[in-house]
Amino acid sequence: MKDIKKLVDECCELMSSKKEINEVSRVRSRYLDEVTSSLKLMKDLDSAGKKKLGSEVNFAKKAILKHYQDVLESIKNKKTSNLSKMHSKSKFLPAAKVASGKMHPLERVKREAIGIFKTMGFSVVDGSEIESESNNFSLLNIPKDHPARDETDTFWISGDSLLRTHTSSVQSRIMQSNDLPIRVICPGRVYRRENDDSTHASVFHQIEGLLVDEDIKFSDLKGLLAEFCKEFFGEVTVRFRPDYFPFTEPSAEVAIAYKGKKNENWIEIGGCGMVHPNVLQMAGIDPLKWKGLAFGMGVDRLTMLRHDIRDIRLLLEGGSRFIEQF
Ligand code: FA5
């Protein structure tokens, strides 16, 4: 049997040489067992000897456990300082990936379209999504019995107020309050009672354009929209087809030739026309002196064409897996 003091020294030395906590623990257990087994000698000793051996064993156990704690502490401290050294050295390593937001494709397309119109001399104005009946309908020459006013087409709020059904309501506001000539666009959200499907939503986005000046002709309107389409889509065929809007005369639907997977389709992107003389008159503008052109384009449709998106509802759901693709 080894001398107890020697056992303690040996154990402490061995524990100090270890670098891992589990190795130190193993040494501690081995030596504690060995020290405890010295108690087997008790039976051959007289009472004074027993007392001496008992206190030596207790002292040895305490010394081993104390040293064990010290070694553990020092290993932990070393690990922490190594870790912080490693972190300070690794400042040039790529940082952990943090999920970041992306601009919604609708917003990106809207900004791009605004940019194109700005280069054509248009400035941007804001309207209001909650509109009066008169701005949305009456002042746009949409009479009381017009189907567009139907309860089933419009979200009425109360009596005279509603959620605008098109950005053309901004025309009424601008013509009444702005000095002439006028050259503005108004991007914004509009609302219609629709049965949502892949190309129709009940909340969608439009960009309205209004130009009022002397000597404006329908050919200016065609040229302006054809130029916009060329800038936005590149070389593309633009088609103007007669249409009807109560606030413009003549009126047209604007469509572009879109190459689908199987064949070429015409996709309607907006409506346009020459501002109706009644509308100018109601805004206090002399229709004999001033002429106006106006257009309203669907931003969601532009976005679908730009990114080949087959279902408009994807644009409105805001799912991150969808948005991350752009
Ligand atoms: C209008 O809203 C007229 N205010 C446009 C206008 C302005 C005509 C100025 C003349 C002068 P329309 O309802 O066709 O017209 O809508 C215009 C465009 O908005 C459509 O060509 C289409 O691109 C888009 N749009 C219309 N309804 C929806 C819908 N439910 N979901 C998504 N986009 C739509």
Is 129's pLDDT higher than 80?
A: yes
Q: Is the CB of 192 under 6 A from ligand 1?
A: yes
Is 174's pLDDT higher than 90?
A: yes
| Atom of ligand 1 lying closest to residue 271 CA | 8
> Which residue among 137, 139, 166 has the greatest number of ligand 1 atoms within 8 angstroms of its CB, and so is best to mutate?
166
What are the sequence ranges of the domains in the chain?
A: 4-89, 105-323
Per-residue model confidence (pLDDT) at position 78: 87
Q: From ligand 1's centre to the CA of 102, what distance in Å? A: 27
Q: Is the CB of 188 under 6 A from ligand 1?
A: no
Per-residue model confidence (pLDDT) at position 151: 59
Is 181's pLDDT higher than 90?
A: yes
More confident residue, 187 or 199: 187
| Atom of ligand 1 lying closest to residue 206 CA | 19
Q: Is the CB of 136 under 6 A from ligand 1?
A: no
Q: Is the CB of 154 under 6 A from ligand 1?
A: no
| Residue whose C-alpha is closest to residue 292's, from 216, 186, 178 | 216
Q: What is the mean pLDDT of residues 122-139?
A: 95
Which tens digit of pLDDT belongs to each residue from 69-111?
A: 999 999 988 888 877 777 666 667 777 777 778 899 999 999 9
Give the rounded distance of the alpha carbon of 2 from its chain centre.
73
Q: Is the CB of 194 under 6 A from ligand 1?
A: yes
CATH 3.30.930.10 fits 105-323, yes or no: yes
Q: Is the CB of 205 under 6 A from ligand 1?
A: no
Residue nearest to atom 9 of ligand 1 (CA): 295
